[in-house]
Structure 1
Amino acid sequence: MPVATLTISSRNYSSWSLRGWLVCRMAGLDFETEVLSGDDASTRAELLHLSPSFLVPRLVHGEIEVWDTLALSQYLNETYPDAGFLPKDPVARARCRSISGEMHGGFINLRSALPMNLRARHTDFKIFNGARGDIERIITIVEDCLSRYDGPFLFGTRPSLADAMFAPVCTRFQTYDVPLPRKVAAYRDTILAWPLMVEWTEAAAAEPDEIEELDMEF
């Protein structure tokens, strides 16, 4: 029987749920996933960006309850130090923490203009200038990391916390057919082919679409 429960909202729409699930799997945690109904008011508030504070994803691990993806990641890193969330080199470790935090707290224009939707495909999608600035910054981060650490992941040959944090952006790049430099496109494809991402995407494809007006409201 699983020792923990991870509560998420939507596999198809929720970038934070994806990040939380990825770090739990990366840690090797034995957990079950509980999916909130699309009729739940807090779920809708999260997915429509209307909630200033929500408790999803939320991990219950014994007597421990932790929410917010970054807090969840920090807890798992402390509990499972061999999971490899952060590089061993202190310089790389500081950079990994920094770009993970930047993704956690920033890129608001991109989140609003290009909402996560794994099942959708848009060609010739018009991206407004605010979101373009966010995309350019992400491209700079990815190119810098690949140059420093040789890829195929941001900090070398294995996924780190940063890759879990950047994974939803890679799905957005695919959904909205965002033009990318060659190396960044290769990184996007690496993330999308990551077995954990394939597993999540397949589950998202089978998820009931309970929030039918979601696309219209973004």
Structure 2
Amino acid sequence: MSELVLYIGNKNYSSWSFRPWFALRALEIEFREQLVPFDMAAGNPAFSEFSPTNKVPVLEHGHLRIWESLAIMEYLNDLFYTKHVWPHEHDNRAHARAISCEMLSGFSALRSECPMNMRREPASLDVSEAARRDVRRIETIWRECLERHGGPFLFGHFTAADAMFAPVVNRFDIYRLTTDPAALSYMDHIKSLPAWKEWEAAGRAESWIVEEDEV
């Protein structure tokens, strides 16, 4: 099999890069990381060399390039079915995809007001009611999944759904957005993973500073 290469942006900020990287590392799928930093509001002109959208992440596999985090997850599921990238049970898989699509397209207030930032020291933030509604909806999603499947992850074992919500774990943590016991327990399990610790440490070590909402 050809080598998998994942093009990503800054680990401190790039929530979309984090999602497939986290899935690959947590599920122990071998790949090569290619970090191309964006240290300007417009990104980085070098992205055009590998990305048709001039954005990250992009997964390269031989002659094929896949952009968009959720599309990358689907491709990984096709390649590595035994890794359970998505739950194997069709009803659970449909549910996992539904909440992941909701994460992909929703929660705009939370995204704009509370960008992912691995270096930020935890402190409360006064957010809008729209962002609070986003928080409550995510708490409900997590609580229902954990109750149905018994935890510690959303569908029992780690899946792409957990990777899709991983940047929210950072947001909830650093902006002190939740006191829900189920959410806090879930966050602790996510943050205890070696893959999380590896990304967080690398993000904290970066020197780039970018003023950006959702990258």
Answer yes or no: same fold by TM over 0.5.
yes
**Deviation, structure 1 residue 83:** 1.4
| Number of residue pairs aligned between Structure 1 and Structure 2 | 207
Q: TM-score, normalised by structure 1?
A: 0.87
The 5 A counterparts of 1:16-165 are 16-26=16-26, 28-39=28-39, 42-43=42-43, 54-156=54-156, 158-165=157-164
Aligned residue for 2:173? 174
Whether the aligned pair in 2 keeps the contact of 1:87 and 1:155 (CA below 8 Å) is: yes
**Deviation, structure 1 residue 193:** 1.0
Are residues 32 and 125 of structure 1, via their aligned partners in 2, closer, same or farther at CA, if it must alter by over 3 Å?
same
**Deviation, structure 1 residue 140:** 0.4
Whether the aligned pair in 1 keeps the contact of 2:115 and 2:213 (CA below 8 Å) is: no
Are residues 128 and 187 of structure 1, via their aligned partners in 2, closer, same or farther at CA, if it must alter by over 3 Å?
same
Query: Quick one: distance in 1 between partners of 2:213 and 2:42?
Result: 19
Question: Which sits farther off after the overlay, 82-91 or 137-146?
Answer: 82-91
Instruction: Return 5+ residue gaps in structure 1 as ranges.
Output: 46-52
Question: Which sits farther off after the overlay, 82-91 or 110-119?
Answer: 82-91
Whether the aligned pair in 1 keeps the contact of 2:43 and 2:55 (CA below 8 Å) is: no
Aligned residue for 2:202? 203
Q: TM-score, normalised by structure 2?
A: 0.88
Query: Quick one: distance in 2 between partners of 1:40 and 1:29?
Result: 31
Relative contact order (C-alpha < 8 Å, sep 6+): which is higher? 2
**Deviation, structure 1 residue 38:** 2.6
**Deviation, structure 1 residue 25:** 2.5
SS at match of 1:173: helix
Instruction: Return 5+ residue gaps in structure 2 as ranges.
Output: 46-52
Whether the aligned pair in 2 keeps the contact of 1:121 and 1:177 (CA below 8 Å) is: no
Which stretches of structure 1, 4 residues or more, deviate above 4 A after TM superposition? 215-218
Alignment RMSD: 2.3
Query: Quick one: distance in 2 between partners of 1:159 and 1:57?
Result: 21
**Deviation, structure 1 residue 37:** 2.8
Partner AA of 2:75 in structure 1? Y
**Deviation, structure 1 residue 210:** 4.1
Identity in percent? 38
Question: Which sits farther off after the overlay, 111-120 or 3-12?
Answer: 3-12
